[in-house]
Structure 1
Amino acid sequence: MSSAPGPYERGRERDRDEEGRARNQRPRDGLGRPLPYDADGVPRQPEGVVRAPEESVAEAQALLDAGRPFHAHEVFEDAWKSGPDAERDLWKGLAQLAVGLTHSARGNTTGGARLLLRGAVAVSDWSTRTGQDRPYGIDVAAVVTWAETLAERLGREGATVDAVDAATHAPRLRGDTRE
């Protein structure tokens, strides 16, 4: 147990947003892990941003490519909270995929594999239910295959995998290949 004083014992006010809701303003690393208050972190993804669906896909892909799946999850979460109810399961499934990659990159490969599979099922079920296989350019079949393949690898290699590199293992949401 650490004997260092906590943020409130050092005279810090509780982190709150404009509406008074508690928010943790600690800096975070590229995988969303909290850092000490005085550390330099990566820029945080703003919450509650309403984007056009195509913008959400492009922003999330850029964050995934940069090895920041936790931040991509925030973009997908905004889309699921601000978008139409009929698309909620699509965006929620994509957020689960990003969180699965986050956990895998943090070294929680068992939990990561489970979330990858849960997200793959959610996205696939949504696609089957709606008959849409390329919503906003997202190649559902390719994303599901990516998630299942990575989850299988994590399950097969188990304890021998410490973590995966998030940027190297990022999905291609639109199914295009890396250059």
Structure 2
Amino acid sequence: MQLYLLRHGDAADRVTGGYERDEDRPLTEKGREEARRAAAALANLGVAVDLLLTSPLLRASQTATLAAERLRPRRGPERSAAFAPGRRPEETLDALRSYEGEDTEPDAPRRVVLVGHMPDLGNLAGWLVWGRGDLTVTLRTGGLCRIDLPGRPGAARGELRWLLPPALLRRL
């Protein structure tokens, strides 16, 4: 499986925007542009997305919707509380495995985009690559990384292929 971790785009400030709940914060115009840019970069790299998953929080769902408009995944975007902030890497991985299917199945997702939040995405990346959630990858808003997971995903089984900050995504 190729797992693409996409941090949601820039979101409105909770206090100055007047949002009582963190989960209600929408993307700013900058955040919408970051989401479009990340999706365009994946498309320009020739990534055909099988499955697009997202946290249910508004800013992540909006990022996933904008990405789906460009990427046209076979499935998704699918929202799940399993990808909401505060999940341990093991919990997130269990949720990913529920979508996995068998490698021999023709419809098994091979290229999966997961839209989520920091520090959760960074902790997941660290756990998949190094087997430790405290060794983390930092994703800026609208940032993207690719982790290749041969066989069944698990701790320290992944290979970090690339990490692209938003400034670099503009050039792809």
What is the TM-score with the length of structure 2 in the denominator?
0.32
Larger RCO, structures 1/2 (Cα 8 Å, 6+ apart): 2
> By percentage of residues, which structure has more strand?
2
What is the TM-score with the length of structure 1 in the denominator?
0.31
